[in-house]
Amino acid sequence: MQSDYTGLITSAEWRWVTRIASALVGLAALPLLWLLLHGTAGDHREFMGVLHGYQSSAIDLARIFQGKEGDWLTHYLHTPEPHGGTLIGVFYALLGQLARLTTLAPMVIFHIARCGAAMVMYLSLYLLPSSIWMKSRSRRVFFIIVVLGGGFGWFLTPLTGATGFIDLNATNVFPFFSTLVNVHYPLTIACLALLASVIIAVLRPGNPALPTVENGGLTVFLLSLFLAFIHPLALVPIALAFIFCLNIDWYQRRAFSRPQLQWLMWFGVPALPMIAYYISVAHYNRVAGELWIAENTTPAAAPLYFLLGVGFPLLIALPGIYRAARRFEPDGDRFMLVWLLVMLLLTYLPTVFHQHFAIGFMIPLAYFATRSIEDFWLNFINRRWRLRLFAALIPLMSASLMLMLVLPIFSSTGSTRQSDQWLLEEDYVAAFHWLRRQAGSDDVVLSAPEVGLWIPVRTGARVVYGHPRLTLDAAEKERAVWQWYRETDPARCLALLQGEYSFDRPYTVRYIVVGPREQATTVCLAGLRVFSFDTVQIYVYSPADLGSE
């Protein structure tokens, strides 16, 4: 039984967590593999490569494409306005550079990186409890809850018709959910878990050692720097929680701690250059600055939907949260409680980022759930029933996550509005191949909105409209695009093509896609050169073609 009470992770524990993590990575890949193997029921549509969070994934894939073309500074290709390149999304540009070196397709490198990031996250989430609990049972309980914990959305949505529960849509809050959509969310959660393990050690009673390379100082420095590149908003809640806890500790001791102050500097200073960079981008690169804010704008769920969305872990955690609030001891409870409250506060403050501040929320919640199980709930459960009860609870906790895992499979088997977004007619793909050879990164393509989402991913060209948040003046451009394809007055054909909807950011359309999704009239297309790909045609526009000045 010695292995049950050790601060070190034994080889048996590593085998256990590696097996569980590998199974979870495989489980997350099943819908994708199913669709690739079974196709789309012979309806002549082609799978675009991503299911969950396809709109945000398209942005990431466009950055990988640019990286494969040799670019380190990336552009927002889902809007037509010209703008300078930035280091925003540079991690995906790095993946693109790897794709260029390995000759792998951007989609392939994206999914390989997504699986790798998931493994890193799972292992990091197991490293955190090893710095808190001596018992391997507690560490395993924490791991299961933090990874698979969810709420009541799967049960309440059919009853109420409400779909705002966060366990059905907040991909950044739940670790397993995050592995379905991108690479940077799992890596962010991994960094937060590792940072929390060091912060808890620093805040424990007694003077901590000065930060060094050997005792975690370098780890904090590098993790903070890495987070500043991949998801800087995640640094805000954990940094504020650390600062609040340090101030409480200094107030109680009536003295500043030089080691703690140095730890804070090692934590915060690496991110300062990137913070300054983001500010300069917002000031000097207006298009990229506006779109970065739009990219990170996620409205917060109603408070009741938020709480019900983490319902099972929250109910289990309540005794631990109450104990931490009552005693407020600096043994990990204080930091986790402050971090939890800071995330909730920032989520509902009147900012534009809202739910992006909740990434990592399950870490402190699972911490208190584990504390509650060990210190409270087990006192009321017969020893013989403990394992059985916990095993029965796991499917209930994870039901919403499993529902969202398989839901795209059912929508992909029929012609639904949502599946139309990630399944395109095969002739569009042939047209994309042609555009890939002909269009440059400065060329603008006009197409239907659901086609415009994938043109930057497959061709590297910009589009008039491609994303509801990452196209400037998206609502107006979307209306203008549909109006153009149905235009009956030739005199109004040039407005959209020559960028009159861009206000002070002019652009000119070069290529026009016409296919089953556009259902265009012929008024605005007269006199243009056309290249045909069966049911899809690409028209090439130049100002002289329609008699413009």
pLDDT digits (tens, 9 = 90+) for 237-259: 999 999 999 999 888 888 778 88
Average pLDDT of the residues in 317-332: 92
Concatenated DSSP letters of 76-102:
-TTS-S----BSTTHHHHHHHHHHHHH
Distance, in Å, from the CA atom of 513 to the CA atom of 535, rounded to the nearest integer, reads: 11
Distance of CA 548 to the CA centre of its chain: 44
Distance between CA atoms of residues 510 and 522, nearest Å:
17
Taking the domains of the chain in order of start, what are their residue ranges?
2-47+105-411, 425-540
pLDDT band at 441 (very low <50, low <70, confident <90, very high): confident
6 pLDDT more than 90: no
Give the mean pLDDT of 324-349.
94
Q: Produce one character per residue of 175-203: b if its CB has 16 or more CB atoms within 10 Å, e if not.
A: bbbbbbbbbbbbbbbbbbbbbbbbbbbbb
Rounded to a whole number, what is the distance in angstroms from the first to the last CA of the chain? Answer: 85
* Backbone CA torsion sign across 183, 184, 189, 193: positive
Of 383, 372, 253, residue with least CA distance to 321: 372
DSSP state letter for 254: T
> Quick one: pLDDT band at residue 42, thresholds 50, 70, 90?
low
Q: What is the pLDDT of residue 547?
A: 46
Is 376 in contact with 352 (CB distance < 8 Å)?
Answer: no
| Mean pLDDT, the chain, integer | 90
Which residue type occupies 71? D
Q: Which of 353, 324, 319, 316 is nearest to 341 (CA)?
A: 324
Which comes out higher in pLDDT, residue 52 or 506?
52
Q: For the residues of 291-330, what is the DSSP string, one character each?
A: HHHHHT--PPPPHHHHHHHTHHHHHHHHHHHHHHHHH--T
What's the pLDDT score for residue 497?
Answer: 85
Q: What is the mean pLDDT of residues 455-479?
A: 93
Instruction: State pLDDT tens for residues 517-545.
Output: 998 777 888 888 899 999 999 999 986 55
Dihedral sign from CA coordinates of 186, 191, 192, 196: positive
- pLDDT for residue 45: 81
pLDDT bin (cut points 50, 70, 90) of residue 3 is very low
Q: Is 129 exposed, middle or buried (0-12, 13-18, 19+ CB in 10 A)?
A: buried
In sequence order, what are the residues at sequence separation of 6 or more whose Cβ sits closer than 8 angstroms to the Cβ of residue 7?
A: 130, 131, 134
Q: Which of 232-236, 447-451, 494-498 has the lowest mean pLDDT?
A: 494-498
Give rounded-to-5 percent helix, strand, coil for the chain.
65, 5, 30
What type of residue sits at position 134?
A: M
Tokens, residue 363: 């870490």
**Phi/psi-derived region of residue 354, left when phi > 0, alpha when psi is between -120 and 50, beta in every other case:** left
Q: Summarize pLDDT for 270-290 with one digit per residue, the tens.
A: 999 999 999 999 889 989 999
